[in-house]
Amino acid sequence: MSYRGWAPYVSVAKRRAKAAKKMKQLRKQGRDIQPVEIQGRSIAKSFWGKAWCDHQEAFSDYDNRLPRGRTYARNGSVCHLHIGPGRIEALVSGSSLYEVEATIKPLSKTRWQALKGACAGEVASVLDLLQGRLSAGVMARVTDPTKGLFPQPGEMRLQCNCPDWADMCKHIAAVLYGVGARLDEAPELLFELRSVDHSELVGAAINLPKAPAGKRKVKGDLSNIFGIDLDDAAPEVSAQAKPASAKQVKTKPVKPKPVKAKSANTKPVKAKPAPTAPAPVARKKRRFRITGKGVIRLRKYFGMNMSQFSRLAGVSPATVKNWEAKPDTLNLRPDNLAALEQLKPLDRAAAWALLEG
């Protein structure tokens, strides 16, 4: 240590080598290490990542520490970053390997209800939401410094075990920039951090339309190419047996009156009721079955890795990994099913254009 209590300067190369050794030890211990890797000069490139970084830079409380934090984030000093509900955990390489923790208060119910009201009918799909394809009014509302999704300084409790006495040291600043880079890969983590469900902003867009009766064009495409099967719970009813209305199905056959005998010597004979056609079986709603192998085939058809496909589908890479690990039918949430439904008509070029758009 120097005479002021600060550790002596260590070059970036030595710091990174020392940190890499430590990360290797932690992986051997079974810890899931998630480093922040930034390509190029821009820390964040997506709508959500840029909006997060712009929000942090808007507060004068952080002015003096942010430049050093940007440098640390760019040179790969954020060795590990995990984002969970209301909590950020990170390891940052400096003179030593420092532990950073940030606790974020949940978004208040009042602000969340106001955001949902402002976005009602404006967000077309989960995919559009996570890729930032929003109207100017919605973008302005969700990124508003005081009424939007991003936390205020007073809603954040920041801690680092380095010797810097400031509320925000350069290691914490590097982690906050790392969050912006991570939102490029998984924007849904912002909603998880604020303890809200992003699908609630979509509303009616997650309700899948019913498939027209008698049309089976989709079945071949999804089953053979993408591995997504269609299952009919009951056979189709022919046009002749199909009732004109629900009342016709429920009507009871009318018993005919007995026929009187023609002569006095014969007894009246009761006529047998005419046979009635069996009630037609109503066709049940089709349901989609999506398997893990189907997700793998769809991703490989697009020529994407898990991270790229997760951004396209509007979920995290971990979610895609869990999908592909399950051989049986996936039990998907309505918004995830809707996202995959939007991808089914795309070819490879259209999928990449949507991802990079």
Sequence-ordered strand ranges (E) for 221-319? 228-231, 287-290
Grouping H, G, I as helix, E, B as strand and the rest as coil, residue 91 is: strand
User: CB burial class (10 A; 0-12, 13-18, 19+) of residue 88?
Assistant: buried
pLDDT at 235: 45
pLDDT at 59: 72
DSSP letter (8 states) at residue 259:
B
pLDDT at 86: 93
Listed residue (323, 331, 294) closest to 306, CA to CA: 323
DSSP states of 54-76: HHHHT-GGGTTTHHHHHHHHHTT
pLDDT at 171: 92
pLDDT at 271: 58
pTM of the predicted model as reported, rounded to 2 decimal places: 0.55
Q: Please count the other Cβ atoms lying within 10 Å of the Cβ belonging to residue 321.
A: 12
Q: Name the amino acid, one letter, at 142.
A: V
pLDDT at 253: 58
Place of tokens 């990360």: 23
pLDDT at 60: 57
Tokens, residue 105:
């208060």
* Residue 348 neighbours by CB under 8 Å, 6+ apart: 301, 302, 303
Tell me the per-residue pLDDT of 184-228, one tens digit each, with 9 for 90 and over.
Answer: 989 999 999 999 998 888 853 334 344 444 443 433 444 444 444
Domains of the chain: 12-205 (no CATH), 217-234+284-356 (1.10.260.40)
**Distance, C-alpha 169 to centroid of its chain:** 32
Q: In what order do the strands lie in the sheet with 78-84?
A: 78-84, 87-93, 97-104, 156-160
How do the pLDDT tens digits run along the chain, 357 residues long?
444 555 566 666 777 777 778 888 888 878 888 899 888 788 998 899 999 999 888 875 566 678 888 888 888 889 999 999 999 999 998 888 899 999 999 999 999 998 888 887 788 787 788 877 887 888 888 888 888 999 988 899 999 998 887 778 889 999 999 999 999 989 999 999 999 998 888 853 334 344 444 443 433 444 444 444 444 444 444 444 444 444 444 555 555 555 555 545 555 555 556 556 555 555 444 444 678 888 888 888 888 888 788 888 888 877 888 788 887 787 777 777 878 877 877 888 888 778 776
Q: Are strands 156-160 and 97-104 parallel, antiparallel or unpaired?
A: antiparallel
pLDDT at 62: 60
